[in-house]
Amino acid sequence: MAKLIPDAVIDLQLAPLEAADRLFICSAQPATYAEASATYDLATHILTGGDFSKADGDVSGRKLILAAQNGFAVDHTGEANHYVLGKSSDTTIKLIGTLTPQQLTQGNLVNFPATDVGEVRDVA
């Protein structure tokens, strides 16, 4: 017998990702919040709860979408290849994703496209 998990329950599983309040563009995959926010950080953007939305998943269930984040400052020159969602109050990493490598230059602005950051299927 198939099982179905209601959207409201799945949304609770996505909530920790939605709690992120920082977007870091990094030059390498960090292992800690400190590495994301300092060691490998090329650009940092402050997020709000309004930057996230939930929708039906591509296959089933639900997904969390981070809206496009445009025009934030590049703090350090380097090759961007990872992005990190973090929570500043408890200095935790919520998600690490890869980027198509691109060179960023200090003083310029960077745009981050809308991205599906998590998806949970609704069958068990």
pLDDT in tens, 31-84: 999 999 999 999 999 999 799 999 999 988 899 999 999 999 999 999 999 999
For residue 59, give the 3-state DSSP assignment. Answer: coil
pLDDT for the residue numbered 86: 98
Q: Where are the alpha helices (DSSP H) in 28-111?
A: 33-34
Q: How far apart are CA 24 and CA 9, in angstroms?
A: 29
Measure CA 21 to chain center: 9
- Cα–Cα–Cα angle for 67, 33, 25, rounded to 5 degrees: 40
- Residue 124: the pLDDT is 59
Q: What is the pTM of this model?
A: 0.93
Task: Report residue 19 as tokens.
Answer: 């709690």
Q: State phi, psi for 33 to the nearest 5 degrees.
A: -60, -40
Residue-wise pLDDT for 70-123, tens only, equals 999 999 999 999 999 999 999 999 999 999 999 999 999 999 999 999 999 887
Task: Quote the CA–CA distance of 124 and 107 in Å, as a whole number.
Answer: 48
